[in-house]
Amino acid sequence: MSVNIAIDGPAGAGKSTIAKAVAKELEFIYVDTGAMYRAMALHLLRQNIAPGEEDKMDAACENAEISIVYEDGAQQVLLNGENVTASLRKEEVGNMASVSSARPRIREKLVELQRVLAAKADVVMDGRDIGTCVLPDADVKIYLTASAHTRALRRCRELEEKGISCVLEEIEADINDRDHRDMTREISPLRQAEDAILVDSSQMTIEEVKAEIIRLYRESRK
């Protein structure tokens, strides 16, 4: 029986960073759901489908098989058996993913593929609706959050380290807007699953959050 850990939470809470760290420590597979949406977008582009051709998107997604494997400790994304990892960060792929990910049928298809992965292997999966929609029976569900101010400070630090100037108040306002959109969208809105454990990382380091989630996992196995 595979073991599944679901980590949900708002943008900027550190879900991906923590999920990757937990997966590495436990030797689980980290399922990068965002990369799967990009792989689907690449599949649609290869079918010469334009961002406005929604019916064609829905039809074309049916013959896409997307999975994640690890080679030498690095995540590789397979599209119909081909390693497409190197193509996923292209701008046109990101633009298509932004449009196609809003299509209900494409979301349904990717949820099916994510569940197949989780049934086969021990996984850590993060997102906005993993514990509520994708893996409702996950062994451990975490709702990872931090205050909007803390998340804005973290984002500012990231930008400044790259030499990009930022205005903290503007970033915090953007985060609050995004939280509102995520929590009020029609399909799979962001919310804490009833059986999820709340972890507020506002005053915690990455190492402390990782340790807490691993502790909760080990406690659940007793």
Binding residues for ATP: 9-17
Specify binding-site residues. Answer: 9-17
Q: Can you tell me the distance from the alpha carbon of 205 to that of 111, in angstroms, rounded to the nearest whole number?
A: 31
Q: What is the DSSP string of the chain?
A: ---EEEEE--TTS-HHHHHHHHHHHHTPEEE-HHHHHHHHHHHHHHTT--TT-HHHHHHHGGG--EEEEEETTEEEEEETTEE-GGGTT-HHHHHHHHHHTT-HHHHHHHHHHHHHHHHHS-EEEEESSIIIII-TT-SEEEEEE--HHHHHHHHHHHHHHTT----HHHHHHHHHHHHHHHHH-SSS-----TTPEEEE-TT--HHHHHHHHHHHHHHHH-
